[in-house]
Each structure stands twice: as C-alpha cells, then as structure tokens.
Amino acid sequence: MTAHSNAPPSAAAPSVVVLDHPLVQHKLTRLRQATTSTAGFRRLTRELSLLMAYEATRDLPLETVDIDTPLERTQGHLLSGKKLCLVSILRAGNGILDGMLDLVPAARVGHIGLFRDPTTLEPIEYYMKLPDDIGERVCIVVDPMLATGHSAAAAIDRLKTAGARQIVFVCLLAAPEGVAHLAAAHPDVKIVTCAIDRELDDHGYIRPGLGDAGDRLFGTK
C-alpha cells in the first residue's frame, strides 16, 4: 500500500500520512454515502481498519529467528518485544478497534472514554483503563474522526502520563484544524488517516465528512 502526506499547508506536518490506495478511497466513498446502512457502515469501517493497520504498524521492530520449514532450516522475522496496545477512544473508536484486532489478535487493548462538551467542544473524561505495561508497547490510538483535535490530544496526554512513549493516531477522516491542533500538541505522534477534508462547520463537524461516526456505527440516530 502506498501512502503520502497531502495535508493542506495550514496542517502540513511530516508525521501526517494520508492513505491513497484505491481500495481505501473506494471504501471511504461508500462509507460517506448517506444511503449506506448501519450494517454496511460497520463492515466498511472494519475493512478500512485492516488497511489502516497495515500503515500504522509499518515501523514495528522485528527480530531474526531460526525456523524449520518442511524443506530446510532457515531464518525469518517475528515482531520483537511487547509489541502493541490498541487504545480506543469511546465509543466510536471500537468500530476501528474490532477490525485491527482481527489483524493483531494478541494486542493488548485500552479504552479512554471522552465526550465533547456541546458548548465549548472541549473533551471531558469519564473512563480510562490501560494495560500496566503500556510504556513497553507501541500504542495505536483509534477514533474515526479527528475534528477539533481536542479529544485526541487529551487522550494522548493521558497516555503519556500513564507512561506511553510510542504513539500512533489512526482515524478515518481528519479536518485541517484537527490535524494542526494534534500536531502542535504532540509533534512526536504520527497521524494515519484516509482523507483530510475541507473544514469544520460551526458545530465542530467535519465537512464534507460522513456524519456522526458513532451514531452510524451503532444505529443510534
């Protein structure tokens, strides 16, 4: 899968990766459509999460091991060390989490519960549960939308306080404002997304976007 950074100038950062694979763009377009059913939205999100996980795990360390094939002894490569922790920003992050666990079922899982104050748009935490050894793992934080960037930055603040040192943020869609905010708050965190859309509206929704990802995933609206 090829990937490139094509963030607009206001959000440009070397750690922003936009996936340009044809399958990613095809599935994202289907995901955006208002006519896509709840079941279809879940399926497409799961499929996209597998493709995004490919890029998010690109830099995982490997170690050389000796193995026996049916024909001879040779050397191969396995993931090294404690590997991964997938951290879902509740509730919508679980739509991406499920697909990534299909690819890396041995990963540890953390959850951070945040909701956005409808007036200030600031994040308010109501839940957090993380593995004890999170400082020894690469953390992949998942949330479908990077809108204002405040929730993502707040979640990563909490992860770093808990000891996390290597963090990647993965989302389906981002707004330039969110990319800029997260890059400024945490310049060491790579952002992986399928697209950077035009802008945020007055209510903090990404335009053209895909609506409220949580409502579409869980059929609550």
Per-residue pLDDT of 11-63, as tens digits, reads 444 589 999 999 999 999 999 999 999 999 999 999 999 999 999 998 888 99
What phi and psi, each to the nearest 5 degrees, are found at residue 194?
-90, -25
Which residue ranges make up the annotated binding site? Answer: 91, 116, 143-151, 206, 211-213
For residue 150, count other CB atoms closer than 10 A to its CB. 21
Query: Is 215 annotated in the active site?
Result: yes
For the chain, what's the residue count? 221
How high is the pLDDT of residue 11? 41
Find the mean pLDDT for residues 179-205. 94
Q: What's the alpha-carbon Rg for the chain, to the nearest Å?
A: 18
For residue 66, count other CB atoms closer than 10 A to its CB. 8
- CA distance linking residue 115 with residue 106, whole number of Å: 28
108 pLDDT higher than 80: yes
Among the options 35, 64, 120, 161, which is catalytic? 120
Q: Which pTM was predicted?
A: 0.88
How high is the pLDDT of residue 46? 95
- Pick the residue with more confidence: 1 or 108? 108
Q: What percent of the chain has pLDDT over 70?
A: 93
Query: Is 120 annotated in the active site?
Result: yes
Query: Is 38 annotated in the active site?
Result: no
- Residue spans per domain, the chain: 3-59+84-218
How high is the pLDDT of residue 6? 44
Query: Is 116 annotated in the active site?
Result: yes
Per-residue pLDDT of 50-76, as tens digits, reads 999 999 998 888 999 999 999 999 999
For residue 141, count other CB atoms closer than 10 A to its CB. 26
153 pLDDT higher than 80: yes
- Is the CATH code 3.40.50.2020 the one for domain 3-59+84-218? yes
